[in-house]
Amino acid sequence: MPGFHKLIARSAAAALIGVSAAGPLHAAEGAEILAAFQGDWRGSGEARPNLRSELTRITCRISASFDAAETALSNTGKCGTTKGAQKLEGKLRIVGDELTGNFLGAAANHGLVNVTLRIAENMIVTEAQVEDAGKMVKVRTFVTPPQDDAFLVQSQFFDRASNSWVVSGEIEFRRQ
C-alpha cells in the first residue's frame, strides 16, 4: 500500500513541522509537555495521499506512556483510511537541551529528509522536506499541547506557486 504509506507519512509529518525557532529546550518544561500526552487517544480528520490530491478521511488510535526517568514519551497505535491501515510506533526523548526521535514512528517519517524536531510555543514541531514531482517541498507538522482532553496534529506543505503554507492534513485526537 505505497499510497497509503505516503498518506500516513505526509499527514503525520506535516503536523510536526514549522514554528519560529525557539531557544534551548529546558528539560523540566520539555518533560512536562511530553508527559501531557500520556494516555489513550482516538483521532479523526483528513489528510492528502500526496501533495496534489484531495483530502481523504483518516482515523487513528494511539496509546502513549511517559517514562520520567528516561524523559521519553513512547507511542503505539494505528491509523487507517478506506485504503488500509498502518501501525505506528514512535518515541520522543529529551536529551540535554534537544528533542529527539519522532512522534508517530518511522512510518510517519517515510520519505522525509533534513528533518528537524523541537518544542516551540509548547507544541511539538517537525520540519522537513519531501520529494514531490521531482522537486523538494518544505513540509511541517505541529502537535498542539493537550487541552481539555484533546490535541491537534496539523500537517502543512509550502506551495511555491502561491508562496504560502497549505494544510495537507489535520487530525484531532481526544482522550479515551
CA–CA gap between residue 126 and residue 21 (Å, rounded): 11
Query: What H or E segment, with its residue span, contains residue 140?
Result: strand 135-143
Residue 8 has pLDDT above 60, yes or no: no
Tell me the helix, strand and coil percentages in the chain, rounded to 5. Answer: 15, 55, 30
Strands 135-143 and 123-132: antiparallel
pLDDT at 6: 46
What mean pLDDT, rounded, does the chain reach? Answer: 84
Identify the CATH homologous superfamily for domain 2-175. Calycin beta-barrel core domain (2.40.128.20)
Q: Residue 112 corresponds to which cell in the numbers above?
A: 522525509
- Higher-confidence residue: 11 or 77? 77
pLDDT at 112: 84
pTM of the model: 0.82
Whether the CB-CB separation of 48 and 66 falls below 8 Å is answered with no
pLDDT digits (tens, 9 = 90+) for 9-59: 444 443 333 332 344 566 678 899 999 999 999 999 998 877 878 899 999
In Å, what is the CA distance from 96 to each residue of 50, 91, 117? 36, 16, 14
pLDDT digits (tens, 9 = 90+) for 106-115: 555 667 889 8
Mean pLDDT of 58-78: 96
Sign of dihedral through CA atoms 114, 162, 9, 18? positive
Domain ranges of the chain: 2-175
Backbone angles phi, psi at 20, to 5 degrees: -60, 150
Q: Which of 120, 166, 119 has its CA nearest to residue 139? A: 166
Residue 152 has pLDDT above 80, yes or no: yes
Q: Residue 132 corresponds to which cell in the numbers above?
A: 514531490
